[in-house]
Every structure is written in structure tokens, then in C-alpha cells.
């Protein structure tokens, strides 16, 4: 009887040991299935959200408001527009500097020629000799002035005072054919006829 009782206890104990293991396996399987289900739901949800976002973007790209929104942050071409606005003023300023620099340089050259020609005329004993000396000096040295064309230059001289105590040399230059006057319509220019005079007393003092 003791052996039969032991075997019955064993047979009864086996199902009791197997039940917890079976319940754990079932629980793990259910958890796995629920995880897979959740994962699939998340995938479907993400896919649906991405499709809705793409559809919304497509609709917005076709709307007139999207073009306005895209133009707002676009700064391409800004430098070109700014240069187009500033370039005319910049070129006018640069061209004005070139024109007036040439005119002032010519003024200075004509005045220098008149002054030096008057000094050169001191060696003459008569008005004719003084005129020849002044004219010779101008024709000899005019080539050293870059802005002066010798063919557009006139030299006049005469005695001044009553009685005559000084000699005056006048140099006249016509700049009307200079490039600054042919192209100077962009900026106002002074009179193209330049006239400068110098007076030296007889005897040089």
C-alpha cells in the first residue's frame, strides 16, 4: 500500500509542477503576441501619419500661399539687386572724379605754362623779342603736360602799364574736344575754354 500511495502522490505532483511552467509559457506567448500587435499598430499609425503629411505638403505646394511662403526666406539675387541700385551712382561718382581731375590738371598746366613763359620773356629787350621768347618756351615745354594738346593752345603777350612797366603773357587752351567733354554729359562740366595769364615786371623784379 505504501508503494501505491507513493506512485499516486508522484502522479498527482507531476501535473502540479507542470502547471506553473505551462502558465509561464502561455503568458510569454501572450506578451509576445501583444508586442507584435502593438508594433504593427505603430507601423500602421506611422505610415498613415506620413501619408497624411505628404498629402498635406502636396496640397500646400499647389496652393498660391506656398509660393509666397517660399519667397520670403529666399535671399538669392539680393546682391545683384543691390549692385543694380548702387552701380549707377558709383559709376557717376567715379566718372566725375576722372573728369574733374583732368580739368583741374589742365588748369594747372596752362597756368604753369603762362607763368614760366612770362619769366622766360624777361630776357627780351623789346616786345617782339619777349613775344618770341614766351612763344618758344611754350612750344618747347608743352609736351611735358599730359592733358594739353599743343594744337589747341594759343599764346598772346603784350606790355602793360602806361608807361609800360611789365609784360603779360596769356595762354588760352580749348578743351572742347577733350574726351572728358565728349563723354561728360553725365556730370556738369565747367567752360571748356581755359585762359590763364601771368605778368612779370621789366627787369624781372
For residues 77 and 83, the answer to whether their CB atoms sit within 8 Å is no
CA-to-CA distance for 158 and 167, rounded, in angstroms? 6
Asked, for residue 75, whether it belongs to a domain, the answer is no
- Domain termination residue (choose one: 31, 48, 66): 66
| Per-residue pLDDT, 173 | 95
Between vectors from CA 79 to CA 78 and to CA 81, what angle results, nearest 5°? 65
Radius of gyration of the chain (CA): 53
Count of structural domains within the chain:
2
Say yes or no: 115 and 200 in one domain: yes
- Domain termination residue (choose one: 12, 39, 66): 66
| Per-residue pLDDT, 193 | 93
Place of cell 549707377: 88
Say yes or no: 183 and 117 in one domain: yes
Say yes or no: 61 and 146 in one domain: no
Asked, for residue 85, whether it belongs to a domain, the answer is no
Say yes or no: 187 and 125 in one domain: yes
Say yes or no: 125 and 62 in one domain: no
Say yes or no: 115 and 32 in one domain: no
Query: Is the model more confident about 175 or about 26?
Result: 175
The whole domain housing 197 covers 110-204
Say yes or no: 124 and 198 in one domain: yes
pLDDT band at 187 (very low <50, low <70, confident <90, very high): confident
Asked, for residue 35, whether it belongs to a domain, the answer is yes
87 pLDDT more than 80 = yes
Asked, for residue 96, whether it belongs to a domain, the answer is no
Asked, for residue 101, whether it belongs to a domain, the answer is no
Say yes or no: 50 and 120 in one domain: no
113 pLDDT more than 70 = yes
Say yes or no: 174 and 121 in one domain: yes
Asked, for residue 103, whether it belongs to a domain, the answer is no
Say yes or no: 123 and 60 in one domain: no
Asked, for residue 153, whether it belongs to a domain, the answer is yes
Give how far Cα 130 sits from Cα of 80, 98, 122, 135, 159, Å. Answer: 63, 37, 7, 9, 9
pLDDT band at 9 (very low <50, low <70, confident <90, very high): very low
Asked, for residue 6, whether it belongs to a domain, the answer is yes
* Grid cell listed for 178: 577733350
The maximal CA–CA distance of the chain, rounded, in angstroms, is: 177
Q: What is the pLDDT of residues 46-62, one digit of tens each?
A: 666 665 555 545 544 55
Buried b (16+ CB within 10 A) or exposed e, 6-31: eeeeeeeeeeeeeeeeeeeeeeeeee
Peptide bond connecting 163 to the previous residue in cis, omega within 30 degrees of 0: yes
Q: pTM (2 decimals)?
A: 0.57
Mean pLDDT score of the chain, rounded to an integer?
A: 77
Amino acid at each position: 500500500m505504501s508503494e501505491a500511495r507513493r506512485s499516486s502522490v508522484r502522479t498527482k505532483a507531476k501535473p502540479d509542477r507542470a502547471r506553473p511552467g505551462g502558465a509561464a509559457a502561455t503568458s510569454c506567448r501572450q506578451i509576445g503576441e501583444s508586442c507584435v500587435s502593438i508594433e504593427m499598430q505603430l507601423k500602421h499609425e506611422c505610415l498613415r501619419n506620413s501619408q497624411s503629411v505628404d498629402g498635406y505638403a502636396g496640397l500646400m505646394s499647389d496652393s498660391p500661399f506656398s509660393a509666397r511662403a517660399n519667397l520670403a526666406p529666399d535671399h538669392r539675387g539680393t546682391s545683384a539687386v543691390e549692385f543694380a541700385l548702387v552701380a549707377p551712382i558709383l559709376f557717376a561718382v567715379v566718372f566725375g572724379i576722372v573728369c574733374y581731375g583732368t580739368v583741374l590738371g589742365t588748369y594747372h598746366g596752362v597756368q604753369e605754362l603762362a607763368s614760366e613763359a612770362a619769366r622766360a620773356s624777361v630776357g627780351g629787350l623789346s616786345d617782339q623779342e619777349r613775344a618770341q621768347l614766351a612763344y618758344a618756351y611754350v612750344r618747347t615745354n608743352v609736351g611735358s603736360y599730359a592733358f594739353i594738346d599743343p594744337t589747341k593752345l594759343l599764346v598772346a603777350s603784350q606790355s602793360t602799364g602806361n608807361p609800360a612797366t611789365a609784360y603779360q603773357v596769356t595762354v588760352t587752351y580749348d578743351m572742347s574736344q577733350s574726351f572728358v567733354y565728349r563723354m561728360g554729359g553725365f556730370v556738369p562740366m565747367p567752360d571748356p575754354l581755359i585762359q590763364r595769364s601771368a605778368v612779370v615786371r621789366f627787369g624781372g623784379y
